[in-house]
Amino acid sequence: MNEVKANMTQDIRAQYGLRPVINVSGTMTSLGASIVVPAAVDAITRVLPQFVEMSYLHKLASKTIAELTGAEAGFVTASCSAGITLAVAAAITGSNLLAIERLPDTGGLRNEVLIQAGHMVGYGAPVEQAIRLAGGKIVPVGQATKASAYQLELSINERTAAAVYVVSHHVVDHGQIPLRTFAEICRARGVKVIVDAASEYDLRKFLEEGADVALYSGHKFLGGPTSGICAGEKAFIRDIYLQNRGIGRGMKVGKESIIGVIAALEAWKNRDHAGIRAREQSALDLWAETLADLPGINAVIVPDPTDNPLDRLKVSVDPEEARITVWDLAVALAAGDRPVIVRDHEVEHGHFYLDPCNLQPGEEHIVADRLIEELNRAQQSNEIISSDLRLRLLEGEAAILNWLD
């Protein structure tokens, strides 16, 4: 274990010319998800040179997932997005091996999948695409800002295979059907309820509220390798596992991911959650104090929107006084030799967030220094630093096609 800790202190990014980013954005796939816990790093390192019987390793993972989530069984796949696809596939095919081999051609099978319009979000890709990959036909329920129980109930018919429920800060946070009601309606009609809880901390709540399967990212709060965790009813988990004989083949995980998830889950049981919260609070307090008297800046600590046990610092910027727009401040922080990546998905509303959950020791002080550095630089500008957000967004879209340049 000491060797593992020593290796973790050696920053491989310099060797490969990668920027040493400081992540105050959160558990984002685009930044490498999260910091893998030492126990998982150790388990991955030890299993990589070894051969194992994968079916038995999957069974071991199932037992560990069941213990932590209260589910009957569990399965590890490539990501939470892959979990959505495989769970939808399992709802369509059941244990029919021929149907599994034919997907995404659903033939005469039930293939309609219900999802509230307010849950049809993008998380780097559209959630609907994860459903369509399995051959599922999207059936929106309600409107983006309002969905009702009767709309869900009357959308169920003989072709309905599953219903997907998304728990995320991305979804519309009002006017949606509560999960417990959603699950009661669906399960009464034999419709499988699939909950996408990728970034959620609570490993039991969604099954307790009626989900047939709850899907988590193994590589976010759990601190495991890139992976997805499916937890649910034994027969349904078996049918998800069977998709490895079909479309799941391209979503398979290696021995290192499975053993890493097992180790991360075991570490979760003994994690000092209170100590982690205290360290995060210390960083939030430091940043709030740093920004307290700066012109044009309003910083307030806010809770997580999906009730995860963590807070973030919401930084609002008045460009007239701060001499810089919030989006230009975010870009400035992300530049240079000490890049700080903030949570900027709401900059058009004049604010971004600082998330402390992925800080390495001491990085909170670098973040504070960078904030002071960029805001002081803005104060010295003769004109307000203000780029056209509309054009910046268009440039960002164009840059996607120039990835290799």
Judged against a pLDDT cut of 60, whether residue 382 lies above it is answered with yes
Residues 235-269: tens digit of each pLDDT? 999 999 999 999 999 999 999 999 999 999 999 98
- 271-299 burial, b if ≥16 CB within 10 A, otherwise e? eeeeeeeeebeebbebbeebbeebebbeb
Same domain, 232 and 105: yes
Domain that holds residue 219: 38-270
Tell me which residue of 42, 86, 74 sits closest to 223, measured CA to CA.
42
Whether residue 189 is contained in a domain is answered as yes
Instruction: Name which of 55-64, 81-90, 337-346 the model is least confident about.
Output: 337-346
The model's confidence at residue 150, banded by pLDDT at 50, 70 and 90, is very high
Mean local confidence (pLDDT), 86-93:
98
In a domain, 16, yes or no: yes
Distances (CA, A) of 267 to 42, 60, 232, 357: 12, 15, 21, 17
Same domain, yes or no: 96 and 156: yes
Q: Are 78 and 226 in contact (CB under 8 A)?
A: yes
Can you give the pLDDT at residue 169? 86
* pLDDT the model gives residue 8: 45
* Whether residue 295 sits in one domain with residue 202: no
- Residue 404, in any domain of the structure: no
pLDDT above 60 for 44: yes
Cα–Cα dist 51/70, whole Å? 30
Do residue 242 and residue 338 come from a single domain? no
Question: How far is CA 401 from its chain centroid?
Answer: 24
Residue 33 scores a pLDDT above 90: no
Among 244, 270, 296, which residue terminates a domain? 270
Q: Rounded CA gap, 373 and 333, in Å?
A: 9
Res. 1: pLDDT tops 80: no
Banded pLDDT at 124 (limits 50, 70, 90): confident
Are both 288 and 222 inside the same structural domain? no
d(CA 276, CA 37): 13
256 and 279 housed in the same domain: no
248 & 136 share domain: yes
Number of independent structural domains in the chain: 2
The pLDDT > 70 percentage for the chain reads 98
Report how far apart, in Å, the C-alpha atoms of 131 and of each of 19, 46, 81, 339, 368 are. Answer: 35, 36, 9, 36, 42
Least confident piece of the model among 302-306, 339-343, 372-376: 302-306
Tell me, yes or no, whether 131 and 91 share the same domain: yes
Residue type, 129: Q
Whether 128 and 190 map to the same domain: the answer is yes
Give residue 9's pLDDT.
57
pLDDT at 3 > cutoff 80? no
Q: Is residue 98 part of a domain?
A: yes
323-335: average pLDDT: 96
In a domain, 405, yes or no: no
Whether 7 has a pLDDT exceeding 50, the answer reads: no
Using one digit for the tens of pLDDT, what is the confidence trace for 94-122? 999 999 999 999 988 999 999 999 999 99
- Taking the C-alpha atoms of 152, 154, 155 and 156 in order, what is their torsion angle to the nearest 10 degrees? 100
Of 239, 270, 301, the residue at which a domain comes to its end is 270
Domain shared by 223 and 83, yes or no: yes
**Within a domain: 290:** yes
> Is there a contact between 227 and 253 (Cβ–Cβ < 8 Å)?
yes
As a whole number of angstroms, the distance between CA 385 and CA 331 comes to 11
Element spanning 278, H or E: helix 273-291
CA atoms within 13 A on the CB side of 88: 32
pLDDT given for residue 5 in this prediction: 45
285 plus 377 within the same structural domain: yes
Peptide bond into 104 cis (omega under 30): yes
**Residue 232 DSSP symbol:** E
Let me know if residue 215 belongs to a domain.
yes
Question: At which of 252, 270, 288 does a domain end?
Answer: 270
Instruction: For residues 305 and 170, give the distance between their C-alpha atoms in angstroms, rounded to a whole number.
Output: 10
